[in-house]
Amino acid sequence: MKKKNVNINVEYLTRVEGHGNIVVNVKDGRLETCRLDIVEAPRFFEGMLRGRSIFEAQHITSRICGICSCGHTLASIQAAEDALGITPTAQTIKLRKLLLHYETLDSHILHIYLLVAPDLLGVKSFVPLITSHEQVVRRALRMKKTCNDLCDILVGRHVHPISAIVGGFTKLPRPKDLDAMLDLLKGMGPDMEATVELAKTLKFPEFERDTEYIALVNDSNEYPFLTGDVGSTDGVRMNKKDYKKITNEFVVPHSSAKHAKLSRESYAVGALARLNLNYDKLHPKAKEVAAAIGLKPKCINPYLNTAAQLVENVHCLEDAIAIIEDLKNTGINYYEEIVVGLNEQFKISVKAGNGVGAVEVPRGILFHNYQIDDKGIITDANCIIPTSQNTNNIEHDMKKLVPEILDRSEEEITLSLEMLVRSYDPCISCSTHFLDVRFVNR
């Protein structure tokens, strides 16, 4: 048989937020290069934070990523409060969990419908789906809008929440707001069911590679998003303060996002990682859905990250309803509403310190770390986003996948690789941007 030469070079991989290139080079049937290049202009957020007030950190870091703006907000606030020695109230924690659920729902819906479904339905984007699958597109946009409306009510807007700040909330939902949110959530039920039905019909590519999965873990029976220790499927468990021992970041020349590894050559974060670590704590309805689509831990097919997102959506919807019902029962304490600004009035006492935030955002665990001086000015900052933790794992997946599918056409290989990258939902706009596949025929 003739030894095969394959050269793939996909520039600006579309339908991922950010810019990236996939470069694959196979010479005489041997894989020589397999890379995920990140080519986006770095934005230097960590550098820019130095010299700014800790009370501005949330506002600035939210702008790292529009899709995960609430997640960045919450990780930033957690790190700031950790540094300042503030313990949030029980009410604040409930509302923050609610906000995180809204964003997870929103982001997963966007990913499942607009970014992945076109692949699985065999079209180039959701635009042709408007004619071929109008009801599906309408449902997706309707669900997306509902999440957006929920965020509008809770924090002013989804892209760059306004009222969630260090110390709590500048505006608390009124009773009528709680009712409105409850109606919106319950109203989403039928669309969510239809989404589950749709997902059951989708066929995901078959591919497996065992890897280490990392996510928040805890000792309670709650599926953790907002707080917890950092755990792994290889048995590691550490306090979030030790996050640098988890990520072990290293810089590679071809990518402006840093790479990460822990117990083996790479690790993965995200919905599938969370599900693999915390499956037992999912809402019973979510478990039913997982069973229906054949998803159980430990699942090592990265393409099924999208399926895990769907399972999480069912969980988040149910848990969000439960949180609001609880808030309605206990009633909201409006004395907790705060006006902080830049803390000109020193309403929040400030001291020097170091704080870490570790929050599960839609794409996986996100770390923020700030060092502040005794005036509350940031002297050092570090943010480690999920995608830069996953990039290394994606490259290792590609290295295993390409030899397995070498007998296919370049087009098919390219699509499989693009779909693989997309299944991780890589939000590269975070640190930088992402993707283009390059088969380089020499």
Partner 1 sequence: MEKAKVAFFDFACCEGCQLQVANMGEALINVLGAIDVVEFREVMSEKWDRDIDVAIIEGSITNPHAVERVKQIRDKSKILIAYGSCATIGGVNGMKNGFPLDEIRRYVYGESYQFFPTENTKSVPQVVRVDYFVNGCPVYIPEFVAVLKAVLQGIPYYVPDYPVCVECKLNENVCMYDRGVTCLGPVTKAGCNSWCVNNGNICYGCRGVISNPNEKGAQDVLAKYKIPLGLILNKMNMYNKCRELEQK
Distance CA 394, CA 417 (A): 10
Distance CA 17, CA 120 (A): 19
* Shortest Cβ 429–ligand SF4 spacing (Å): 8
* Residue 89 CB partners (closer than 8 Å, separation 6+): 168, 336
The tokens of 221 are what? 């029976």
Max alpha carbon distance in the chain (Å)?
Answer: 77
* Interaction partner, residue 341 (partner 1, ligand SF4, none; CB < 5-8 Å by kind): partner 1
* Shortest Cβ 184–ligand SF4 spacing (Å): 23
* Interaction partner, residue 322 (partner 1, ligand SF4, none; CB < 5-8 Å by kind): none
* Shortest Cβ 19–ligand SF4 spacing (Å): 14
63 binds ligand SF4 (CB under 6 A): yes
* Shortest Cβ 151–ligand SF4 spacing (Å): 14
Residue nearest to ligand SF4 (CB): 63
Are the C-beta atoms of 146 and 102 separated by less than 8 Å? no
Instruction: Please choose, from the candidates 389, 399, 337, 385, the residue with its C-alpha nearest in 3D space to the C-alpha of residue 172.
Output: 337
66 binds ligand SF4 (CB under 6 A): yes
* Shortest Cβ 55–partner 1 spacing (Å): 10
Instruction: Please choose, from the candidates 356, 384, 351, 350, the residue with its C-alpha nearest in 3D space to the C-alpha of residue 370.
Output: 356
How far from the centroid of its chain's Cα atoms is residue 439's Cα?
29
> Scanning residues 257 to 286, which ones bind ligand SF4 (CB under 6 A)?
none
* Interaction partner, residue 118 (partner 1, ligand SF4, none; CB < 5-8 Å by kind): partner 1
The tokens of 271 are what? 């919905």
Instruction: Please choose, from the candidates 334, 330, 266, 324, the residue with its C-alpha nearest in 3D space to the C-alpha of residue 300.
Output: 266
* Residue 332 CB partners (closer than 8 Å, separation 6+): 91, 172, 173, 174, 175, 178
305-315 burial, b at 16+ Cβ within 10 Å, e below that, comes to: bbbbbbbbbbb
* Shortest Cβ 63–ligand SF4 spacing (Å): 4
Distance CA 61, CA 430 (A): 10
159 binds ligand SF4 (CB under 6 A): yes
**Alpha helices, DSSP H, located in 156-251:** 175-187, 189-201, 243-247
Complex with partner 1: residue 127 or 322, whichever CB lies closer: 127
> Scanning residues 160 to 179, which ones bind ligand SF4 (CB under 6 A)?
160
* Shortest Cβ 68–ligand SF4 spacing (Å): 12
Complex with partner 1: residue 213 or 424, whichever CB lies closer: 424
Complex with ligand SF4: residue 110 or 356, whichever CB lies closer: 110
* Interaction partner, residue 385 (partner 1, ligand SF4, none; CB < 5-8 Å by kind): none
* Interaction partner, residue 256 (partner 1, ligand SF4, none; CB < 5-8 Å by kind): partner 1
* Shortest Cβ 141–partner 1 spacing (Å): 5
Are the C-beta atoms of 256 and 19 separated by less than 8 Å? no
123 binds ligand SF4 (CB under 6 A): no
Complex with partner 1: residue 129 or 236, whichever CB lies closer: 129
Give residues in contact with partner 1 (CB under 8 A): 12, 14-19, 40-44, 46-48, 50-53, 56, 59-60, 63-67, 69, 110, 114-115, 118, 124-127, 130, 137-138, 141-142, 144-146, 148, 155-160, 162-163, 165, 169-171, 251, 253, 256, 337, 339-342, 344-345, 429, 433
Per the document, the length of the chain is 442
Distance CA 384, CA 178 (A): 34
Are the C-beta atoms of 36 and 391 separated by less than 8 Å? yes
Alpha-carbon dihedral angle through residues 126, 132, 134, 136, given to the nearest 10 degrees = -70
* Shortest Cβ 62–ligand SF4 spacing (Å): 9
Tally of CB atoms within 10 A around 40: 20
* Interaction partner, residue 124 (partner 1, ligand SF4, none; CB < 5-8 Å by kind): partner 1
* Interaction partner, residue 339 (ligand SF4, partner 1, none; CB < 5-8 Å by kind): partner 1
> Scanning residues 23 to 62, which ones bind ligand SF4 (CB under 6 A)?
none
Residues forming contacts to ligand SF4 in the complex (CB under 6 A) are 63, 66, 159-160
